[in-house]
Amino acid sequence: MASKAITAPKNKAHELTFFEKLGNRFSNFRKRFEDGSLGTKLAHFIFGAGNFYHKQYVKGAIFLLLQIAILAVMIFCPSINDTPYGWKALANLPLKNLSEGGGFDPLTGHFTSGSDCKLMILFGFVTIALIIIYIMLWNMSIASSYKADMDKKIGKKPTSFKEDMAELLDGKFHVLMLTPTCIAATVFTILPTIFMIALAFTTYNSQDMNDLGTNLFRWNGLQNFAAVFTGEGSLGMEIKNRFLPVLGWTFIWAIFATLSCYFGGIILALLINKKGLNGKKVFRTVFIFTIAIPQFISLLAVRNLLGEYGPFNQFLKDLGWITESIGFLGLKTGDSESLAKVMVIIVNMWVGIPYTMLMTSGILMNIPADLYEAARVDGASTFKMFFKITLPYVIFITTPYLISSFIGNINSFNTIFLLTGGGPTYTGYQAGGTDLLVTWLYKVTIDQGSYNTGAVIGIFTFIITATITLITYRRSKAYNEEDTFQ
Amino acid sequence: MKKFLALMLVFVLAASMLTGCSGGGSSSGGKDDGVIRVWVGEESAEFYQKVCDEYIEAHPDFGYKIEVKGMDTGSVAGTITNDPTAAADIYTVAHDNIGKLASTQCAKPITDEALVNQVVADNPASFQKVIYSTLDGNQYLYGVPYISQALFMYYNKALVSEEEAKTFEGLQAAAARENTKAITVTGDDGFNMCFALLATSVVDHGTSVKIYEGAESVSGGSKGVSNCQGDDTVAIVRWLQEYAADPNGFKWASPDGWEADLDKDNKGVLAVIGGAWHYNTAKAALGESNLGITMIPTFTLTEAACEGLTGVSAGDVYRGGTFADCKCFMINANSAASKYAKEQELIAYMASKEIQNRSYLECLNVPAYVGAASYIEQCYKDGKVTESQFNLAAMQVSMAEWGIPQPFITGTLNTYYYSKNGPAIFRAMIDKTAYPTTGDQILTETESLESIRKGLYLIEYIWMHGVTPDSFPASLPEKA
C-alpha cells in the first residue's frame, strides 16, 4: 500500500493585494470629506477635531497631542549628538555639506564635534517613519470621526474612550497582545535592517573614511554591488575573486551538512528504535549528551583534538605514520583546503545528528501501526515498507525542519568559526578556504571595517536564503497538502 | 484604535531608545557630577586608585572624587570610539591610538602650561614626536606618556645557553641540537613583523625603512614618507626566507598559540619574541626557573642574502627590531569642560616621575621618562625586585634604544601599516608562497631579486594608499 495524498480544495476567491488594500484606505477620502460632519471636515486639518466634535474628548486629546508632538519634532528638530531629527534630518539625508568639526577653545575646554553620517542616515529614516506614522494617524483621526458620524446616523451613540479600552481587553485582545511584538520587530529588526541595507549604497568603510574624515561618508549608488564583478570597491579584488568560491562552498557545505545530519539522524533513530533492541533509553541518552554539552565546547574540544599538538596528531606521530603534524582543520596557510572541508562536515555530523535522531525517534513512534500491518498483508518487504511508508512519512513531517536546517547551515557561523576560523587562509584575501558567506561577512566588517561591502554580502545572503526558503517550502508537500498525509 | 495604540507605542519606544543612545556628547561636553573617572590598565587599577586617594588626602581642596577602573588597554581605544560618552574622563591608551582618538573627537587637547612643560622635560624625543595631533589647524599635546614598552625575547633557559640566545645563529644551533625550531613570534601581524622589518645595523642602529616619517606633524591626513625598498630590507627578507626554510630556524606561531610552541613539554620552539604583556603566559609555558629574558638577538647577513645588492655586504650584523611605544593618559573630549583644569592637574601628578617609579615597583610598569634605566638598575641592586622582574624592565629599556615608536597619522582613523594585506604579503614572501599583486595577477615565483623587490614595493604602496597598485613601475626599486 502506498501513501496517497489528497489535495485540499483551494480558495479561489480574489484576495486583495497590498496596494489594493492601501488604495481602498485612501479612495474614500473625498467621500468622507463631503459626507462627514463639520468635525470630520476639521479632522482633515486638526487631528482629533472630529472626536472633540462628538464629545470623545480623551481620544481627541490623544490625536491632537500626537499631531503636536510630531509637528514639533518636524519643525524644531531636536538633536542627539549634534545630529537633528525633523526636517533637518531629511535635509541631511543626501549627506551633503558635511562638517569635520573640531572647533576648540583651549582655555575652557569647549569643543565642537563634526557631522556623523551614521546618525544622519538613521535619524533620516526615523523621520521618514514619523511622517508615515503622521499620515496614518491623520487617516485614523478622520476615520474615527467619520465612524462616529455613521454611528449617529443610525441612531447609535459614538463609542467612548472607556468602551474602546474595554474592547481592547475583549474583542481586540489579540491586538493588545501583538502590539509589543510589532513594536519590537519594528525597532529591533525592521529599522536596523533598513539601515543596514542603506549602508550598502554608501562609502561607509574605514578606508574611505580615512580620506574623507572620521564619521563622514557619502552615497555611492550601486558601486558596491558592481564591485562584486569589477573588484573596484573598498575590498579591492577580494570581493571579485572570492565571492563565487565562497558562495559555492556555502552551498556545498549547506547541502552536505544538512543531508548528512538529516539522513544520519534518521538511520540512527531507526537503529535505536529497532524492535528487540535492549537499552533504547540508554542509547538515546548517550546521544543526547552531545546536545546537553554546549556546542562551542564540543567544537573547541575537537579543534584541540585535531590541533598541531593535539592527541590525534601525537598518536599518528607515535605510530611513526607521520613526522609533521597534519593540518586537519586548515588552521595554517598552506594546509589542505579539501581536507579541512571534509573534516568540518564530519565534525558537524557529531553535533548535528543527535537533533535529527531525537526528532525522528518521536515521528517513528507515531507512524500508525496499521499502515505497516496493511503493507505486510499485501506482501510488502521490509525494504519496500521503509521507502513507501517510513521515509515519505518522515520527510513529509520534517520538510519544514529540513528547510530551516538548510538555511541554518548557510548561516552556520559557530561551526566554521570555532573549528577552522575560515582557514586555510589565502594571502591577500580575508576569505579562507572554509569561510562561509556569514563568516566572511564577519571578517569583512569586524577585521577590515568594510561595512558597505559587508552590507552587500549580507543582502546577497538574505536574497539567497529567502529565495530558497520560499521556493522549496511553497513547493513542498508539507505546505501544499497540509494535514493530508495518509 | 489598535493601529493607533501600536503606532503610539512604536513612536514612544523608538524615541526612548534613540534618546537612550545619546548620553552627553554635545558640544558643551558631559555633566559635572563631582567625580573624575580614570581608566588605566587592569594590572594597575588598584595602584592608581591608591595614589589618587593619597592625592585627595594631601589636597583637600581638589574638589573631586576620583574613581579608577582597570581596562584592557589593547582594546580600550575601540571601546572609546564606539561610545565616547560612556568612557572615563581620563583614559589610558597606547600612543599609536592618539591620531585616531583625536580625529574622532574622542580626545581633548592638553593645554595646561605646567603639564606641557613637564611632558617636554621628562620624555625622550622619540615619544615627543608621537604625542601631538592637530585640531582646528593648531598642533596640540594630546597624550602624556607614563609607561614605556618594547618587544624583547623569552627563551627556554633549560635548552638554550645565555650565549646562544644572543644571536639567531646561536638559537639555530641549539634548535638543531634539540631537533626543534629556533624562534617564533606571537602573531603574524604588522606589529610582530617589526622584528624583521625594523631590524637595524649594530654599527649605527641604521635602517632604510621609513614608515610615515614626518606625517605626525602634518594636518589634513598627509601620510609623510615611507620606504620599504632599500637593499638592507631586501637582504633581510632573503635572510629570513633562508632562516624560515631551515628545519631548525624560524616558525610562525602554531594555530594552537605561541605558548603551545614554547611549552616545555611540547618543545615546539626554543624562543619567542614578545612583550611584557606575555610574561605570565610565557612563565606558565616554561616555568619560572626555565624562563630566560633577553634582547631580541642579532643576525649576520649571508652571501646569498646580499647577492646582487650594493647597499649591504655579507657579514653585516643586524639586531631584530621593535616598536618602542608608550602608554599615555588622555582626556575625553566628552568630559565636562568644568573638570578640564583638575583633570590636567591630576594627570600631571599620575604621570610624575615619582608615581612612575612607584608604578614600576608595585605593578612592573616600565617608566617612560628619560633616565628610568638607572632607577630600574638601582631597584635591582637594592633587592627591591627579582632578577626576572629586573630583566623584564631592563630589556625593554635596552630594546627601546633599537626601536621607533609606532607610527600614526593625524586626522585619519588609522594607518594602513597593519591592514590591507601588507603583513600577509610579507608573510607570503617569507614562506615563499604565491600572493596576489596587481589586478588579477598572482606572483608565484617568490625567490628572485625581482620578485622580492616587487613584494616590498607592494607593501610600501599599501602602507601609503591602502590598496595594491594597478601596475608595477618600469624599474624597481622605485627610489634609491
CB atoms A308 and B104 under 8 Å: no
Q: Taking residues A47-76, what's their average pLDDT?
A: 94
**Which CA distances in Å does B310 have to A151, B198, B243?**
100, 19, 22
CB atoms A140 and B3 under 8 Å: yes
Q: What per-residue confidence (pLDDT) applies to B18?
A: 52
Quick one: three-class SS letters along A342-354? HHHHHHHHHHHHH
What is the distance between the alpha carbons of residues A463 and A445, in angstroms, rounded to a whole number? 19
CB atoms B136 and A429 under 8 Å: no
Q: Which residues of B101-137 are buried (b: 16+ CB within 10 A; e: fewer)?
A: bbbbbbbbbbbbeebbebbeebbbebbebbbbbbbbe
Q: Which three cell numbers stand for residue A335?
A: 594546509
Burial class (CB in 10 A: 0-12, 13-18, 19+), B418: middle
Q: What per-residue confidence (pLDDT) applies to B157?
A: 95
CA triplet B188, A309, B257: central angle to 5 degrees? Answer: 30
Please tell me which residue, B310 or B421, carries the higher pLDDT value.
B310
pTM for this structure? 0.77
CATH class as words, domain A237-480: mainly alpha
CB atoms B337 and A308 under 8 Å: no
- Percent of chain B clearing pLDDT 90 (strictly above): 57
User: Domain-by-domain residue ranges, chain A?
Assistant: 20-99+111-168, 237-480
Residue B429, SS3 per DSSP: helix
Top residue of B3, B408, B443 to mutate, by most chain A CBs within 10 Å, is B3
The answer, yes or no, to whether residue A113 has pLDDT greater than 70, is no
CB atoms B413 and A209 under 8 Å: yes
Top residue of A104, A163, A173, A326 to mutate, by most chain B CBs within 10 Å, is A104
| Of the partner residues B136, B411, B468, the one whose CB lies closest to the CB of residue A236 | B468
The answer, yes or no, to whether residue B285 has pLDDT greater than 80, is yes
What value does the mean pLDDT of chain A take?
Answer: 85
Give contacts of B420 with chain A, Cβ < 8 Å. 207, 236
CB atoms B260 and A309 under 8 Å: yes
- Percent of chain A clearing pLDDT 90 (strictly above): 39
Q: Say which range, A39-43, B19-23, B38-42, B213-217, has the weakest mean pLDDT.
A: B19-23
Q: Taking residues A323-335, what's their average pLDDT?
A: 87
pLDDT digits (tens, 9 = 90+) for A217-240: 889 899 999 988 887 777 777 888
CB atoms B440 and A241 under 8 Å: yes
CB atoms A308 and B17 under 8 Å: no
CB atoms B14 and A129 under 8 Å: yes
**CA-based nearest residue in chain B for residue A233:** B467
Give contacts of A120 with chain B, Cβ < 8 Å. none
Residues 157-216 of B with CB under 8 A from A: none
What is the distance between the alpha carbons of residues A65 and A76, in angstroms, rounded to a whole number? 16
C-alpha A352: how far from chain center: 22
pLDDT digits (tens, 9 = 90+) for A397-446: 888 888 889 989 998 999 999 999 998 988 888 899 999 999 999 998 88
| Of the partner residues B4, B135, B266, the one whose CB lies closest to the CB of residue A140 | B4
Q: Taking residues A265-287, what's their average pLDDT?
A: 85
Write down the CATH number for the domain with range B33-148+325-400.
Answer: 3.40.190.10
Of B241, B249, B346, the C-alpha closest to B297 is: B249
**CA-based nearest residue in chain A for residue B134:** A102
Q: What per-residue confidence (pLDDT) applies to A7?
A: 45
The answer, yes or no, to whether residue A47 has pLDDT greater than 60, is yes
What is the distance between the alpha carbons of residues B95 and A100, in angstroms, rounded to a whole number? 23
CA distance A368 to chain B (A): 45
CB atoms B2 and A133 under 8 Å: no
Q: What per-residue confidence (pLDDT) applies to A207?
A: 64
Q: Which three cell numbers stand for residue A71?
A: 509637528
User: Domain-by-domain residue ranges, chain B?
Assistant: 33-148+325-400, 152-322+419-465
Burial class (CB in 10 A: 0-12, 13-18, 19+), B236: buried
Q: What per-residue confidence (pLDDT) applies to A8?
A: 44
Q: Taking residues A471-483, what's their average pLDDT?
A: 72
CA distance B204 to chain A (A): 35
CA distance B99 to chain A (A): 11
Contact by Cβ (8 Å): B313, B201: no
DSSP state of A207: H
Residue A435, SS3 per DSSP: coil
| Of the partner residues A66, A81, A129, the one whose CB lies closest to the CB of residue B8 | A66
DSSP for B268-314 reads: -EEEEEE-GGGHHHHHHHH-GGGEEEEPPPEEE--HHHHTT-SS--T
Give contacts of B25 with chain A, Cβ < 8 Å. 81-82, 113
CB atoms B140 and A106 under 8 Å: yes
| Of the partner residues A102, A106, A129, the one whose CB lies closest to the CB of residue B105 | A102
Q: Regarding the domain with residue range B152-322+419-465, which homologous superfamily does it belong to in the CATH classification?
A: Periplasmic binding protein-like II (3.40.190.10)
CB atoms A175 and B468 under 8 Å: no
Q: Taking residues B304-313, what's their average pLDDT?
A: 94
| Of the partner residues A104, A210, A213, the one whose CB lies closest to the CB of residue B109 | A104
